[in-house]
A and B are shown apart, each in its own frame.
Chain A
Amino acid sequence: MQTGLCFSLYRIFLLMFPADFRAEYAEEMQAIFTEALDEARHKGQLALIRLTLGELGGLLNAALRQQPPPLPHSAEKPEIWVGPPSRQELLLVFAIFVLPGLSIWFNLPVEALSVFLGIMLVGVFVAALLKGFQRWTLPAIGLGISAFSFIFLFQWAADLVTPAMLSDLGIIPKDESTRLLLHAFWAGLMWFSLFGFTFMILGVLSLVRRFRMQLVSIWQDWTLASYILYSGAVFTLMITFDQYRYEKAYALASTLCLATGAWLYLRSARQWQRTLALLTGMTLAMGAIAASQWPAANLAEWRNLFSWSPSSSESGFEAHRVLLDWAWMTLILLAPILLKLIPRTGKRTGAAI
């Protein structure tokens, strides 16, 4: 891992802080981080990774605390965030959640879907920048963030954990439990990359004055953040459906489940109902994946992907794997609400952090 890369990431994360704070403390913080990097570099790669991840997490946490306080509870939420969905919003939800499944069903080339979704995402982003980040833009933003976090952040993090490093640690995927452990690690890394990246983007956007009032709504209703993360699940499902038999029906079923969850979310009035809607949609979608992977266990071409021989309990492994994915996704979807439950400090003198 390059220390230059760590330092660049650190500087990017510093952008989440208000400008006046950065003017006063950023240089000092970077100097300290450089010293810490120098020290960690001599202790090895793991120490470097641990330091960088800890620092980035600390910055994220501190930056969120530095943001302007939420509006008073009595303040009305902008209309764009509440109320039943418009027809256009439903259409966009359908496009985001169901099109990937339909493209698999109709055997459309991945490139065509990628180009179409790419154009649509750029269009939504431009519209959001011009007109503001309204609720209808969130699924597209979630999907875009998910793709970026997977391609850049997750791949970067995955590159850090090299096979040689795993070998040094004695983690060689021979038995089922080790494979599950590794899968839990990778899945966690992927979902936490999405979580971190999402909040970094929201943090950066909230520094822009014209978006601040709209994004402050997310501080009021954290199910909106869960909704963004939920949209990222589409991307994850699509990369899950690879080399599996009968994938067409199951892919369509799982995306329809996700779309149903999103629709229920938009129709629900209370926060707990909206949270439940997302969890239900995600659980049903994961159920469809679990069902799809049972017949896949006997597929010869799938076995050839791995250097080891699949055990007779491959179906059991797949079941546990999907369960692990579900557990991570549930945790990430609930994370914004759990963060909201953390008591705010600062009322008492000296209780700064």
Chain B
Amino acid sequence: MNTNAHPESNIPLTEVTYFILLSLAPGPKHGYAIMKDVSFMSKARVALSTGTLYGALPRLLEQGWIMRSEAPKARHPGRGRKLYALTEMGRSVLLAEVKRLDSLVAAAQQRALGETA
């Protein structure tokens, strides 16, 4: 597990990592819901395959940014469903990344205003 307690030292994130963490921000989700949500948030620009998703999830688990738990058996009994949720560390990293992106956008907006002035 990654014991680095400074979220800023873990950014910038890749787009896939960013979208996965962002997808989990409102609450826990299972794998398929993450894929759908990422596609929705990125306006279908980022289409995660199961290979890509499950290449990323074990690393995020190892880094301690997300955690995994058994999903309640309801719709699909017998199927290997697991829920993924953001940890405090994951949320901090995500917030740090959002802050970084905000500052980038702010810089771009300032430059744009300067040019039109």
A-side residues, CB < 8 A to B, are: 21, 24-25, 27-36, 54-55, 57-63, 65-66, 345, 349-353
Q: Shortest distance in angstroms between A317's beta carbon and chain B's nearest beta carbon?
A: 36
Which residues of the partner chain B approach A65 to less than 8 Å between Cβ atoms?
Answer: 55
Q: How many A-B residue pairs have CB under 8 A?
A: 91
Closest to B62 in A: A352
Which residues of the partner chain A approach B54 to less than 8 Å between Cβ atoms?
Answer: 25, 28-29, 62
Which of B10, B30, B53 meets A349, CB within 8 Å?
Answer: B10
Name the residue in A24, A25, A57 with the highest tally of chain B Cβ atoms < 10 Å from its Cβ. A25
Which residues of the partner chain B approach A345 to less than 8 Å between Cβ atoms?
Answer: 14
Report yes or no: B51 in contact with A63, Cβ–Cβ below 8 A: yes
Report yes or no: A31 in contact with B76, Cβ–Cβ below 8 A: yes
Report yes or no: A351 in contact with B51, Cβ–Cβ below 8 A: no
Closest to B61 in A: A24
A61 to B56, CA, bound (A): 12
Q: List 14 A-B contacts (CB under 8 A).
A: A25-B57, A32-B53, A35-B32, A36-B32, A61-B51, A349-B10, A350-B10, A350-B11, A350-B13, A350-B63, A350-B65, A352-B17, A352-B56, A353-B56
Closest to B59 in A: A352
B-side residues, CB < 8 A to A, are: 2, 4, 9-14, 16-17, 30-32, 35, 47, 49-60, 63, 65, 76, 79-82, 93
Q: Shortest distance in angstroms between B33's beta carbon and chain A's nearest beta carbon?
A: 9
Which residues of the partner chain B approach A21 to less than 8 Å between Cβ atoms?
Answer: 58
Report yes or no: A28 in contact with B52, Cβ–Cβ below 8 A: no
A54 to B49, CA, bound (A): 7
Closest to B11 in A: A350
Which of B9, B31, B47 meets A32, CB within 8 Å?
Answer: B31
A36-B32, A60-B51, A352-B56 known; A30-B17 Cβ under 8 A: no
Q: Shortest distance in angstroms between A18's beta carbon and chain B's nearest beta carbon?
A: 11
A54 to B51, CA, bound (A): 10
Which residues of the partner chain B approach A27 to less than 8 Å between Cβ atoms?
Answer: 79-80
Q: Shortest distance in angstroms between A12's beta carbon and chain B's nearest beta carbon?
A: 14
Which residues of the partner chain B approach A24 to less than 8 Å between Cβ atoms?
Answer: 58
Which residues of the partner chain B approach A351 to less than 8 Å between Cβ atoms?
Answer: 13-14, 17
Report yes or no: A32 in contact with B14, Cβ–Cβ below 8 A: no
Which residues of the partner chain A approach B52 to less than 8 Å between Cβ atoms?
Answer: 58, 61-62, 353
Name the residue in A21, A30, A352 with the highest tally of chain B Cβ atoms < 10 Å from its Cβ. A352
Report yes or no: B76 in contact with A59, Cβ–Cβ below 8 A: no
Closest to B57 in A: A25
Which of B11, B51, B93 meets A62, CB within 8 Å?
Answer: B51
Report yes or no: A352 in contact with B60, Cβ–Cβ below 8 A: yes
Report yes or no: A66 in contact with B50, Cβ–Cβ below 8 A: no
Which residues of the partner chain A approach B93 to less than 8 Å between Cβ atoms?
Answer: 350
Report yes or no: B4 in contact with A28, Cβ–Cβ below 8 A: no
Which residues of the partner chain A approach B57 to less than 8 Å between Cβ atoms?
Answer: 25
A350-B10, A351-B17, A352-B60 known; A32-B50 Cβ under 8 A: yes
A21-B58, A25-B58, A29-B54 known; A58-B49 Cβ under 8 A: yes
Report yes or no: B51 in contact with A34, Cβ–Cβ below 8 A: no
Name the residue in B32, B53, B55, B80 with the highest tally of chain A Cβ atoms < 10 Å from its Cβ. B55
Shortest beta-carbon contacts, A-B, top 3: A58-B49, A58-B51, A27-B80
Closest to B79 in A: A31
Which residues of the partner chain B approach A30 to less than 8 Å between Cβ atoms?
Answer: 80
A59 to B65, CA, bound (A): 24
A31-B80, A54-B49, A58-B49 known; A352-B14 Cβ under 8 A: yes
Q: Shortest distance in angstroms between A258's beta carbon and chain B's nearest beta carbon?
A: 34
Which residues of the partner chain B approach A63 to less than 8 Å between Cβ atoms?
Answer: 51
Which residues of the partner chain A approach B31 to less than 8 Å between Cβ atoms?
Answer: 28-29, 31-32
Q: Shortest distance in angstroms between B37's beta carbon and chain A's nearest beta carbon?
A: 13
Q: Shortest distance in angstroms between B17's beta carbon and chain A's nearest beta carbon?
A: 5
Q: Shortest distance in angstroms between B89's beta carbon and chain A's nearest beta carbon?
A: 11
Closest to B97 in A: A350
